[in-house]
Amino acid sequence: MKESIKSIIVSVLQWEAGKVLKKYQPKIIAITGSVGKTSTKDAIFSALADSFYVRKSEKSFNSQIGVPLTILGCQNGWNNPLVWLMNLAKGFILIAAKSRYPEWLVLEVGVDSPGGIKKMSEWLKPDILVITRFGKTPVHIEFFASVDELIEEDAALIDSMKRKGILILNSDDEDIRSFKNKSSNKTITYGTEGGSDIFASNYRVLYGIDKKGKFPTGIQFKVEYDGDSAPVVLMGVAGSHHIYPSLAAIAVGISQGLNLSEMSKSLRSHASPLGRMKIIKGIKNSIVIDDSYNSSPVALEEALKTLQMIEGAKRKIAVLGDMLELGEHSISAHKEAGAVASRSCHILAAVGPRSRGIAEGALQNGMREKDVLQFETSEEAGAYLENLILEKDIVLVKGSQSMRMEKVVEEIMANPEEKEKLLVRQEKEWKER
């Protein structure tokens, strides 16, 4: 789509979205931050859906186009002009006619360029704002002069909140914790430390057992709030960072008078987004941890630490693609990831030109050359791994979106006929890009 046409469409969609919000007056939950937005959005939806009529952003619709599309209930038109015309028409119909509209909107709001969120805040006025995490080197930092500038951009929505709005903060992130002093709104904090209003403890990995030994099946932890506690069980995922979306969802629910115990039960049925540390059966009775949706320094470090602590593996293999949009931090971030990988896996497969830094960092920190593999593309890596993987191996697959690391998972998953159900980016439009 030509940029001039795209700009016009964005402007009209935002105008329509603002009019729709003014007409129907839904409660708005906005989620921003550099890590965990989509998982948090989906968890909040699961916690509220049993009690309210809720609409959430589809996939990762979080941009200046994506947010209005969610508000209007429209699909991404990609490069199809007819779909975009239909989207615009639907917006006008919503404005002109009376329709049944959701009570709550759960909107993921992301940074794709300087000023993007600030511009969105002119018409998007959240009732509840959830800020997840940034990390030392946030994703999208390439487009900003500094980390502080990116954080300031994400925080723009605080000033646009409704007067009686509620600010929900991840207090384990120092930068986000500081926002508590910058807002007059009611604030609820969540984290893994006792100083948070809502906090998690007693985290553990759940395992299944077969004739060959044990294998990971999910995670469990305890949530505590105001003297009350409840267990949360999340099946089919790995990693302690799944705690944060659940805590954010519980914070939102508590702010609306929902019961802690009931919300913990609702989260049991919560299916985390595809490609986010999902446990999938692999070839030769292996286990694949599919984290192929995207990558950033903080998320990669957490994924590798999860791989390190999982028990029952014959070997641990990390297949890591490039991390993008890191700007001047790219070289150091990839080398640091390699250092973590050297302690977390037996075999490292680095995919893409930037990931050579991961390989270099791993070698510098003691990994043997024969255990460090390098590939130019995800297709090459997937084809090689088919022969490399042995029974009871655990394979972590992760990389930025454009690296298309889901292609690796497709090659090594036990049931590739289920790929459209289990893997990210299976839409025709993605495959044709």
- Rounded to 5 degrees, what angle do the CA atoms 334, 174, 109 make? 75
Domain boundaries, the chain: 3-268, 278-431
The H-or-E segment that residue 145 falls in is none
Residues in CB range of 180: below 8 A, 6 or more apart: 167, 169, 171, 187, 189
pLDDT band, residue 139 (cuts 50/70/90): low
Strand order in the sheet with 372-375: 278-281, 287-291, 394-398, 316-321, 347-351, 372-375
Residue 33 one-letter amino acid = G
How many residues are listed for the chain in this entry? 433
Backbone angles phi, psi at 54, to 5 degrees: -125, 140
Answer whether 131's CB lies under 8 Å from 138's CB. Answer: no
Q: What is the dihedral of CA 112, 116, 120, 122, to 10 degrees?
A: 170
Each residue of 77-116: pLDDT tens digit? 877 888 899 999 999 999 999 899 999 999 999 876 777 7
Each residue of 227-240: pLDDT tens digit? 999 999 999 999 99
| C-alpha span between 206 and 29 (Å, rounded) | 32
Among 383, 298, 392, 379, which Cα is nearest to 336's? 298
Residues in CB range of 8: below 8 A, 6 or more apart: none
Radius of gyration in angstroms for the set of CA atoms belonging to the chain, rounded to a whole number: 22
Answer whether 37's CB lies under 8 Å from 248's CB. Answer: no
Please give the average per-residue pLDDT across 401-420, as a whole number.
97
The CATH class of the 3-268 domain is alpha beta
Q: What is the reported pLDDT for 397? A: 98
Please give the average per-residue pLDDT across 56-64, as a whole number.
81
| C-alpha span between 139 and 403 (Å, rounded) | 15
Better-scored residue on pLDDT, 225 or 149: 225
Distances (CA, A) of 227 to 114, 194, 198, 199, 268: 42, 12, 10, 11, 22
Q: How far is CA 385 from the centre of its chain?
A: 26
pLDDT band, residue 1 (cuts 50/70/90): low
Residue 130 has pLDDT above 90, yes or no: yes
Other beta carbons less than 10 A from residue 343's beta carbon: 13
Distances (CA, A) of 338 to 24, 321, 364, 366, 372: 50, 11, 9, 10, 10
Among 423, 300, 276, which Cα is nearest to 354's? 300
Each residue of 204-230: pLDDT tens digit? 999 999 888 899 999 999 999 999 999
CATH superfamily of 278-431: Mur ligase, C-terminal domain (3.90.190.20)
Equal CATH topology for 3-268 and 278-431 = no
Q: What is the reported pLDDT for 78? A: 78
Q: What is the reported pLDDT for 2? A: 67
Please give the average per-residue pLDDT across 286-303, as a whole number.
96
The H-or-E segment that residue 317 falls in is strand 316-321
